[in-house]
Chain A
């Protein structure tokens, strides 16, 4: 039988049992759709998290204190080792570092009129705006003059704004109380949304470093140092220069451990991406199992079909079909079932994916590879699960097949 007639015969046979064929296909349709949807959700969330982390600032380097071990006892997290002089040292000697800013902060109750809100006020240098890609959507940012004059000015994030100014009036020019100290709001920060680790980046008040340090914290230590490298390539170099500078500034001997930690966004990104990759693989495997179950469904139905059509196969053999003809016919039937179901599964998968994005607001990304893979898997399933029943049919003796009741 030629290939055209084989396909025509396969389609006819499948149409004759329309409902059964559709039910068989359902397993594959659900499997393929599940693979595509799960993969799209996994990939989408990975991209989402990557974008959120990148929103923290590109090429960003974070230096945090890590108190050294004293006689085997570590002083513990939150210890203070970083000082403003470390920042000056890096500024002077590190060529790969573009911007650097310390951050010193304290949690305070802030008030404006009858409204009050608990948040954190952080003192930073104007370089911090470049590191974090911050700009003012209303008003202006503070500058070096404000720093020198230890001005009581501040910038507020969107969350602080909504809580202190619920009527929507412009906060610029208004004076708010941070703790007991009045600060004049000179600008509103651009929206940053949630960070990759779930903190609200808009629940902040930024003020000149000197103002917070001198007026509120009154300590020589800073909480954390932010820096950014010249470009993505020089991040590594900047990290080693920063380490060297701070070690020198802290007078550490070559045998001493670092009393600080240097992290880059790339490190954090890599960690989170590996987690989301595992998640994607997990989701896809679960979906893959349903595809496998669908394939077993095809095998089951093909067996039923072979048994049910034993006499038909006998007749075909009698009128001149070879074993190869019979085998190809059944294999192509299995292949047609799985491929048609595969195409339908891809369509269903795409529809469900766009529904999820439209209704649940999840970010989803359908990749061409997931479509190609599930289509390929369908063909393999068709051939693999169609093979055994087809062989069984092809090996039937014409006489036994004709006599089959």
Chain B
């Protein structure tokens, strides 16, 4: 962990409480956490441990019940929905387990989508250039005009990553990005994520797989809405090298 880097995320005594059928349930119970710029943070934990709820709050998709969340030194809790939307648009990129690409649209249109929410900022030619650059980063520039249903799972997730990085975000939030993929494709995706991290993006990765968390520079483990472990991953693995070690046998099923 590079402790000299700037603190980009700071969470103070964060609580998230849900009311369901007359009972109150706390998904997060007083979380305190800081993330430095350039980290590849893996949030781990069993189902129901609060890791996804936590990531949603960090991604400004949800609000904490009490506590403070400072992004880039600015408190996000008093912001209204529109202001939060603009924070997401300008600074965040999201990668979801089920890709969440728009159906019946091309890879190009999906990657272009975030740029459309910038009003008149990007013209048609600028958008085209940016989309092709992003698709190139994930190795899919020749699939730009393919409809999303014509792509494999791994390719769809790579389109989702291209969409997440198109606005040059400060933080990429990835919620179980490899959850629907086989091992080899998972390692492909993690190689791309590590590559983005090395180029300076901060990555917050939610996963329950140790294999995947091994590629992170820091592991935070959640249990019952509390952080039970927070340590740098000294044995951080390289996804590209790990993929090379996989037996050839898996090759034919790689493209799921």
Q: Tell whether, in the assembled complex, residue B103 and residue A312 are in contact, meaning their CB atoms are under 8 Å apart.
A: yes
Is B234 an interface position by the 8 A CB rule? Answer: no
- Check B79 for interface membership: any CB of A closer than 8 A: no
> Chain A: interface secondary structure?
helix
Contact of A399 among B56, B88, B89, B119 (CB under 8 A): B56
Residues on B with C-beta less than 8 A from A317 are 61, 85
Size of chain B's interface in residues, with CB distance under 8 A? 31
**Best-surrounded residue of A323, A324, A399 (most CB of chain B within 10 A):** A399
- Shortest distance from the beta carbon of B168 to any chain A beta carbon, whole Å: 13
Which residues of B (84-100) have their CB < 8 Å from a CB of A?
A: 85-86, 88-90, 92-94, 96, 100
Contact status A319-B61, CB under 8 Å: no
The answer to whether A311 and B100 touch across the interface, beta carbons within 8 angstroms, is yes
Q: How far is the CB of A386 from chain B (nearest CB, A)?
A: 20
Render A285-323 as a binary contact track against B, CB cut-off 8 A, 1 for contact. 000000000000000000000000001101111111111
Which residue of the partner chain A has the closest CB to B94?
Answer: A318
A12 to B109, CA, bound (A): 11
- The answer to whether A399 and B102 touch (CB under 8 A), given A318-B88, A323-B85, is no
Bitwise, A317-346 to B at CB < 8 A (1) or not (0) is 111111111000000000000000000000
Among B81, B96, B109, B114, the residue within 8 A (CB) of A320 is B114
B167 interface hit (Cβ, 8 Å): yes
Contact B96 A5 (CB under 8 A): no
Per the bound structure, the CA–CA distance linking A320 and B60 in Å amounts to 10
> Which one of B89, B102, B167 lies within 8 Å of A315 (CB-CB)?
B102
Chain A hits for B59, CB < 8 A:
318
- A251: interface (CB < 8 Å): no
Q: Quick check: A2 and B119 within 8 Å, CB to CB? A: yes
- Contact check, A315 vs B100: say whether CB atoms are below 8 A apart: yes
5 A-B pairs (CB sep. < 8 Å): A16-B104, A16-B105, A317-B85, A398-B62, A402-B61
Known A-B contacts: A319-B94, A321-B85. Give 10 more (CB < 8 A).
Answer: A2-B116, A2-B119, A12-B105, A315-B101, A317-B61, A320-B85, A320-B86, A321-B117, A322-B82, A397-B62
